[in-house]
Amino acid sequence: MFNLLKSDLYRTVRSGLFWGLTALIVAMMFLVAGIMHWISSPEFGVMVNQSILEQGTELTPDDRAELEEDIAEAATLNERCYDTPTHLWGRTFLNGGFLGIIGSLFIAMFLMSDFRSGFVKNLILDRHGRRIYYGEKILFIGLIQAVFLLVSAAFTSLAFAAVGFTVTGAEPLGDTVLWLGLTWLTLFAYALITACLVWALRSSWVGALTALLVSSGMLGSLIVQLFQLFAKAIPFLAAVPFWMPITALQLLGADATPLLSANANLPIPALLPAGHIALVSVIYVAVCVALIFAVLRRRDIR
C-alpha cells in the first residue's frame, strides 16, 4: 500500500490538474480578498447610499428593509476585521462549497485516470491486491482533501492580511484545530461519495457533476428545502436534513465558537454541534467505505 501511495503522490506532484486547481485556490482567495476590500471602502458606501436615494421611491417596504439589512452587514466590514481565523475561513472558502468542488473534482479526475491511462493494468489485482488498491485510494483521498484545506486556509489568511484585514478574536488553538479537523472530515465524506459514483459508473462526467452539484452543497440545499416543504404534511421529515452533510457544512460555516456550545435545535440536544458534525460525517464515511469494499471492489477493474 505504501508503494502505491508513493506512486499516487508522485503522479499528483507531476499533475497539471493538481497545480492548476491549487493556483485557482490561490487566485480565488486573493480575488475574494480584493472584493471584500472594495466593499469595505468608503467609496463603496457612498455609491450604495447614492443608489438608495435614487431608487428610494421605487423600493417596496420589504425591499428597503432587506437592503438596509445588507448595508448594515456590509458596514461591519468597514473596520476590515474578522472575529477569528475560522470565521474568516468559513466565510471565504467553505460557505458556497468552493473547497468541496475543488477537492472532489480533482479526486474524480484522478481516479478515472487510472482506467483511462491503463495504470491499473500494471497492478496485481487479485482479491488481496484489490483491498490494497481501494484502501490506498481512500487514504489518498483523505490526504488530498487535507492538502487543499490547508492551502486554502493559509492563502486566505495571507490574501486578507495583504489587503489590510485583521483577525481580532483570540481563538484557542484547540478550537481552530477542531474546526479544521471537522471540516476535513466533512469534505472527506463528500469526496468519498464522489469516488463511489466514479467507481460505480466509470465516468469522469459523473464525477465532475457530482463535484459541482453534491460537493458544492447545491443539491443538498435543494433537498433540504424540499424536506422542509413536505414536513408541513409529514412532520418527521423535518429531522432528515440534520443527518445530511450539508447541515454539517452549515454548522461549520460560522466559526469554531458555536461548535462546543449546546444547540437545542439539533436532533440529539445532549450532543454538541462538534459531536453531531463528527457523527454525521463518520456515518457517511462508513457507508461509503462499506460500499467500496463490499461491492465496488468486485467490479471488473480493467
Angle at the Cα of 210 from the Cα atoms of 186 and 145, rounded to 5 degrees: 35
Q: Are 258 and 100 in contact (CB under 8 A)?
A: no
Q: How confident is the model at residue 75 (pLDDT cuts 50, 70, 90)?
A: low
Within 95-126, residue ranges assigned H as helices are 98-116
Q: Which residue has the higher pLDDT, 101 or 44?
A: 101
Q: Which residue has the higher pLDDT, 167 or 41?
A: 167
Asked if residues 214 and 190 have their Cβ atoms less than 8 Å apart, the reply is yes
Q: Are 40 and 77 in contact (CB under 8 A)?
A: yes
Query: Does pLDDT of 172 surpass 60?
Result: yes
- Read off the amino acid at residue 137: K
Q: What value does the mean pLDDT take over residues 71-99?
A: 78
pLDDT of res. 51 = 62
Assign 178 a pLDDT band (cuts: 50, 70, 90). very high
Q: What is the pTM of this model?
A: 0.87
Collapse the DSSP code of 40 into the 3-class scheme (helix H, G, I; strand E, B; otherwise coil) and give the result: coil
pLDDT of residue 130: 86
* More confident of the two residues 43 and 194: 194
Note the pLDDT of residue 144: 97
pLDDT at 57 over 60: no
Q: Is 164 left (phi over 0), alpha (psi -120 to 50) or beta?
A: left
pLDDT at 302 over 70: no
The stretch 219-242 carries a mean pLDDT of 88
Across 127-140, b (16+ Cβ under 10 Å) vs e yields: eeebebbbbbbbeb
The whole-number average pLDDT for the span 143-151 is 97
Comparison of pLDDT for 129 and 98, the residue scoring more: 98
pLDDT band at 179 (very low <50, low <70, confident <90, very high): very high
pLDDT at 275 over 90: yes
Please enumerate, as own/partner, the contacts of 19-22 that have beta carbons within 8 Å and a separation of 24 or more: 21/102, 21/105, 21/106, 21/148, 22/148, 22/151
- pLDDT score of 62: 66
The pLDDT-based confidence of 24 (bands split at 50, 70, 90) is very high
What's the pLDDT at 168?
Answer: 79
Most confident by average pLDDT, 177-191, 267-281, 287-301: 177-191
- Beta-bridge partners for 126: none
Distance of alpha carbon 150 from alpha carbon 133, whole angstroms: 26
Q: Distance between terminal CA atoms of the chain?
A: 19
Four-CA torsion 219, 136, 93, 227, nearest 10 degrees: 20
**What's at 301, amino acid-wise?**
I
What's the pLDDT at 48?
Answer: 58
pLDDT at 233 over 90: no
Q: What is the pLDDT of residues 249-264, one digit of tens each?
A: 999 987 888 898 888 8
